[in-house]
Structure 1
Amino acid sequence: MKHPLRSLLAVAVAAALPAIVHAANVDEPWYVGGKVGWSDFYSKDYAKDFGSADTSNGDKVGAGAFVGYQFNDWFALEGGYDWLGKEGIRNALGEEGKQRFQGIQLSGKFSTPVTDKLDAYARLGVMGYRASGFGDKHDGAAPLAALGLEYNIDRNWSTRFEYQYTNHLGKTGDNGLRADNGLLSLGVAYHFGGAPAPVPVAQPAPAPVPAAPQVMEFKLNGDVLFAFNSAKLNDAGQAELATIVQQIKTAQPQQAAINIAGYTDRIGSDAYNMKLSKERAASVGDFLVSQGIPASIITAEGFGKADPVVACDNVAPRAELIKCLQPNRRVVIRAVGQAVQQ
């Protein structure tokens, strides 16, 4: 490959562009790690009268340590130390030795998600390096780029597989060799913090909103419940009230308020009619209590001839008038409460 660093830079930029969100833990942004792998040198340029020499497999071991800070979901800044291994070299006198390459690097790391736990990333940065051998050395700076995959094991630990390329290490006029380096490594990182995610606390169910008060209303014919001018319930009246009691009990009367209103017609004096209407309402209330309705929720009132349903103004014979005014002789039971159901 004629320009490997340019190619890596292009791929790294392309990988960084879609980086919007990934699985990194930014609750605790600091992390540290290490790596080890295979290091090799390319595009080697020797000083005059210098040449290559044997390089053992042991010389090709590369390693490094790094520390990083995760700024947000897709960008981190990393710095670290890299040992890039040794390269055999022969000087003008025919002596063989090893050039050693190492450096301190700083790079930006751009990540994008592949799965919930796996990220692809690119690093772009610079390495301040030292190349030394045969008693000579050269210190300089070189651009670097890297591509990798990082797997988040849990909130604390991740592992990464990476290829890093560093361009133009060394100087032929100083240490006798200038070369590019490729480091293929396997690394592991520890992310500080990483406390277990808080267990969601179940929110209490909202208190039920009370339904709007409902009303059960029963309008009873006074002539069915009582004999004329009487406040004593007859058998037919008790049977009808018993049916109403069952409906009220089904509606949970302990959550209701029951009002009983007695009415008469206009025949007779106002005082007599008021007294009769109260007695009739009280008789109905007593019957409800006898059937198991709590007395504490019952009120009984009499209204005499008030609020007539019919007037019968043009009816003269008394018998006809009594018959005409029958709708006014009534008892109204109203049960009001949240639990009342019609």
Structure 2
Amino acid sequence: MTRQKSLAINVLAAAAALACIGTASAQENTYNPNAYILLNGSVMKPDSKFPEDKVGYGGGVKIGVPLNPSWDIQVGGNYAESKDHGLKMHEYLGGVDALYLFTPAGFRPFVLVGLGASRDSGTTIDRHTSPYVNAGVGFQYKFTPTLGMQADIRETDSFYRHRDPFDGMKNSANTYVNVGLTWAFGAPPVAAPVPVATTTRTEETTTVTTPPPAPVYTPPPPPPPAPVMKKYTLSASELFAFNSAKLGPNQPKLDEVATTMQANSDIASVTIVGYTDRIGSKAYNQKLSEERANSVKSYLEGKGVAANRLTAVGKGEADPVVECKDEKKRPALIKCLEPNRRVEIEPVTFTKQVN
């Protein structure tokens, strides 16, 4: 085993041992869906094709975003430098990694793949900006709900667009060992406590002459009250004058609707539908039906019903209740068509105590 491989294994082993020691002090180790920042130190072994191929050091910063308990995305950059007898080699990395984690919490081993852009330069090599891909293995561990660590070993392969004039390299493969700390932007959500059943033991005393009391039958609780549904259909003669959308002063049925909705907050929404008869143009009747529905809506709002619980709709002369085809004279026709001039309030559903 080479000295460089031995160093990489020792670094990862020390990180794993630190995670195991942290098990005893971790207060909570559950999946945390919040984003986090990763600050890491790096040990780099350059490709042996570089003249400066000694082990170098560096570090980086990344932002991690958990997609679900099995996948993380990390975006950020890294820098490392190698020195060898006065020669230097530098590498800057910027890209994105996808981590597949084998466990949702605790000690979380993972495999990773990534891509990005690298910037290589050195004493004996030209500067190269080129795409790279990398792959590796590692693990994550949390010491507290927000503080944790990550360690991995990976190989980063850069692909140059032009061969280096010094040594003719077309690509390079550098090995990295990264160990760092993670800090999540928030703790995991707290699960609701699970109620624990408790048992109370009652001691009974008996005498020779008195038998123990018979168990008392406790009837089961009554079923929940059934929902009550009521549809309000109000004729126009109760609400408006003929050919008008102005409400009269006393509206007991609308007061009943307002009182019901105020007393039952579970009524989320009702629809108020205005209708007219067929006398007049369709456009005029449509507008009149909308004005009537909105008048009822405004009245209920004035009685304290929130506007977001009311929807006003006009349907003009649609859905007639009567046809009145035999009525010729206008007064008789107006009287006959009276049931069609109405305002309907869609079924109001609420819970009512059933005795």
Q: Which has the larger radius of gyration?
A: 1
TM-score in terms of structure 1 length: 0.44
